[in-house]
Amino acid sequence: MQSILHPGTTRAALLPAIFSLALGGLFIGTGEFATMSLLPALAQTTQVSIPQAGCYISAYAIGVVLGAPLLAVIGTRLPRKCLLLLLLLLAAAGYIASALAWNATSLLVSRFIAGLPHGAWYGVAGLAAASMAPQEKRTQFIGYVMLGLAAANVAGVPAMTWLGQHLGWRAAFGFVALGVLLTALLVRLLIPFAPASKTASPLTELSALTSVQVWLTLAVAAVGFGGMFAVYSYITPTLTQVSGFNLSQVPAVLMLWGAGMVCGNVLGGWLADRALTAAIFTLLLWNVLCLALFAQVAHIRWAAVLALFLLGNGFALVPALQSRLMKVASNAQTLAASLNHSAFNISNAIGASLGGAAISAGYGWAATGWVGASLATGGMALMFFSVWYAKRISYD
C-alpha cells in the first residue's frame, strides 16, 4: 500500500485526520450498540413486543453483512476520500429515516439502510489510516480508527441512552445523524485527497473471494470473536441476577468494559506491528482465559468487573485481524477490509445464539463465559490451520 502523504509529514500533523476517522467510528458504533438499550421504547412506539423489536437490531446486522462487500465493490473506482464521504452520507440518511420512522416497517427499513455503510466505513477508514502511516505503524493507525468503536461503549452509548430516556428515541437517532454529518464535514476538510488506483476494478476486488487465506482469516474473526458477543449479549441479566448489581449500576460496569476495549485496542495495534501472527494467537488465548475467568467469578462483584475489563482488552483482535486481511488480500484490500466487519457481525449472531442456547438449556447466565471460551478456542484452531496451510502451500 502506497502512502498518500508527503515525506516528512509529522505524526502530530496526522492527528486531526485520524481523529476525524475515529469520530466516524464513534458515532456509527454508538448507533449500533445503543439501539439495544432503546428496544423497549422502540417496541412501545411501533406497537410490537420487545422480542419482535429485536428485528430492528437484526435488520441493521443484515445491512452490515450485505452492505460491506456490495459498497466496497461498487466504490472501488472512487477516490478513497469520496467513498468515505458517500458512506457517511448514507449512514446519516439511515439515521434521519430512523428518527422519522412512523411504524414498524419503516423503522425496519431505516435500520437496514443505516447498517449498509457500517462495514465498508470501518474497512475503508482503516485503509485510509494505514495509507497515512509509516510502514512500521500501520496496524497502530488502524487501531486508532477502531478507538472510535471502542469509545462508543464508554461515552457514546451512555449519551444516546440518556437522550433516549429523557428526550425520546427519535432524539437519540437524530443525535447520531448529526454526529455522522459532523464527521463528514471533518473528513471533507482533513483527509488528504488521493486519486483512485488506475488498476482498481470490481473484478480485482472480487478476487479476494478466491483467496483461501482471506476466508480463513474471516472465519477466525467470525468464530474467535463470537465469544465476546456470547457474554455481551446477556451481560445485563448476568450482572443483575448473578453478580448482584442493581440495574442502575450496569451502565457504569459497561463503561469500564469499554475502557478495557480502548486500552486493548492501543496495545493490540502496537503488538501487531511487531509480530502480527503471534499477536493474533496471543489475543485469542487472552480471550479464552478471560472468558473462562468470567464464567468462574461472575458471582463475585469485584472479580466480575475485573474480568470484564480484561475481556475488553481482547478487542485488540479487531485491528490485528484487519491488518492480516490487508496482508493476505493483495490488490483487493477494500473488499477484504470491509468483509472483516461483516465477519464480526456474523460473530455477533453466532455468540448470541450459542450463549442463548446454553442459558435455555439451564446452564445459567454465567455459562456464556464457557461458550465464549469455546468459541475463542475454535478461533485459535482456525488460525493454526491458516498458518499451517500457508506453510504447506509455500513448500509445494
What DSSP string describes 223-289?
HHTHHHHHHHTTHHHHIIIII---GGGHHHHHHHHHHHHHHHHHHHHHHHHH-HHHHHHHHHHHHHH
Contacts of 295 by beta carbon, 8 Å cutoff, 6+ apart = 366, 367, 368, 369, 370, 372, 373
H helices of 34-134, in order, are 39-46, 50-74, 80-100, 104-115, 118-131
Cite the residue boundaries of each domain of the chain with CATH code 1.20.1250.20. 11-198, 201-396
pLDDT number for residue 323: 79
Q: Does domain 11-198 have CATH number 3.90.1520.10?
A: no
Query: For each of the chain's 396 residues, which pLDDT tens digit applies?
Result: 444 544 444 555 678 888 889 899 899 988 887 777 677 788 888 888 766 777 787 788 888 888 888 887 787 778 888 889 999 999 999 999 999 999 999 999 999 999 999 888 888 888 788 777 777 677 777 777 778 877 887 788 778 878 887 888 899 999 999 999 999 999 999 888 766 666 555 656 666 677 788 889 889 999 998 888 888 777 878 888 898 888 778 778 878 888 888 888 777 777 777 888 888 999 999 999 999 999 999 999 999 999 999 998 888 888 788 778 877 877 666 777 777 777 887 887 788 778 888 888 888 889 989 999 999 999 999 999 999 988 877 654
Whether residue 345 contacts residue 61, with contact meaning beta carbons closer than 8 Å, is answered with yes
Predicted model pTM: 0.77
CA distance 367 to 380: 20
Whether residue 202 contacts residue 73, with contact meaning beta carbons closer than 8 Å, is answered with yes
pLDDT number for residue 192: 81
pLDDT number for residue 281: 93
Cα dihedral across residues 329, 334, 337, 340: positive or negative: negative
In 3D space, the residue among 61, 58, 26, 43 whose CA is nearest the CA of residue 164 turns out to be 43
Q: Does domain 201-396 have CATH number 3.40.50.720?
A: no
